[in-house]
Every structure is written in C-alpha cells, then in structure tokens.
Homo-oligomer: A and B are copies of this chain.
Amino acid sequence: MAAMKIGVLGTGMVGQAIASRLVDLGHEVVMGGREATNPKAVGWAADRLRGRAGTFADAAAHAELVVNATAGVASLAVLSSAGGSAILDGKVLIDVANPLDFSNGMPPRLSVANTDSLGEQIQRAYPAVRVVKTLNTVNANIMVEPRLLPGPHAMFIAGDDAGAKELTTGLLHEFGWPPESIIDLGGIQAARGMEMYLPLWLSIMGAQQTVNFNINVVR
C-alpha cells in the first residue's frame, strides 16, 4: 500500500498504538488531541520522524484517511471540533471507538445501543464521510499486532462504502490481519452488533483476567 497521510484522533492507548504502527509502516501521521500541546501526543511525536502532534483539526486537515480513536462518548464532539463536514467530507473515517459510558460505575453502559450505534451516528451526522467500523472488538495491542494471539481469530468490518472498506481492509492486512480473518458484516448498521459485543468482551476479560484475547468464528 502506498504511504498515506493519516490523522489519528485520540491520544490514548488506542490512538498511540494505531499511530505508532502506522508510522512504522511508513505512513505520515498526525496525532490529534484537544490541544496541540497535549503531552501524550507531543511525547509520542518526539520519537518519530513521520509522526507529528497537533489539534484534532490539524490531524483532520492533514489526513487523506482519519482514524477515530477517541472515547466513544466524545467522538461526535471531537469530529465537530476537527472541522466537521468542511474538512471530513469525502474522506475515509475508520471508527474504532466504543461508546462506553463509565459515569454510572462498573460495568460501563453503552451510551448508544440496540436501535442505533456510534458508527451509525457518525455516518448520519456526516453523510459524505466514508465511515468504516472495525478494530473495536479487540484491545489496542491486538488491533495492530494480531499475531500476538495464536491461530486464526476474527476481525469484523462494516460500512456503506465498498471502496472505503477495501482501503481499510488493506490497512488491516498491513497490521497483520490475514484476509481470511476479516469478516465483512455489510453496511454500517452492523456497527450495532460490533459495539454491543463489548459487554461480553468485558465479561470474558474479567473471567480470564487478560485483555489479550479475541474471538474466532468456527463453522
């Protein structure tokens, strides 16, 4: 895959893991935070030739492809402060966020579920953005290094734009997801199931006391 200009929105564990992996793969990455001086993003960029820190708007303006790695409950506000339609329209947006709401304690609730999903909300808010939901069903380190787990295991992908899914699938391959592990669930509405899987993921994490796991579809 040719090197791309990628904006990673979010400076947390997921944003750092994805941005680092993308830089290692040769892509030009701007990691966006609320403020350009976000110490996590600045510290990250200091170690990297092809990585830069900036605001959400800087990251989005730089990007041919945007990765939403913000907390799901903040994602819509972040996309707005990143510049909204004027900046995002026509671009591929890979949404890896989960709308987990910890404000009522554990276990977290989903802030949107059942009849809607974050992926669908983003697509509705920005009809001309090419939204692809993927990677939200595994921990950050598994996202970018699936070989950490033995044998085959599944990565789901959903979105309304076939070309955007193809581009995203190419990136997943670069991360190490083999073609046969990638399961296309169809349109962005399938983000619903991918996000509603999170409570089961959290229960399995609790039972097995590890975040390093994934599911494989056996048939």
Residues of A within 8 A of B (CB): 107, 109-110, 113-115, 149-154, 156, 158, 183-186, 189-190, 192-194, 196-204, 206-208, 210, 212-219
Give the distance to chain B from A134, nearest Cβ to Cβ, in Å: 13
Stoichiometry, as copies per complex, reads: 2
Given known contacts A185-B204, A196-B199, A218 and B218 CB-to-CB distance under 8 angstroms:
no
Instruction: Give the residues in chain B near A113, CB-CB below 8 Å.
Output: 113-114, 196
Q: A153-B218, A185-B204 known; 8 other A-B pairs, CB under 8 Å?
A: A156-B200, A190-B203, A192-B199, A193-B202, A208-B219, A212-B219, A214-B217, A215-B215
Question: Once the chains are docked, how many angstroms separate the CA of A65 from the CA of B191?
Answer: 38
A6–B210 CA distance with the chains assembled, in angstroms: 37
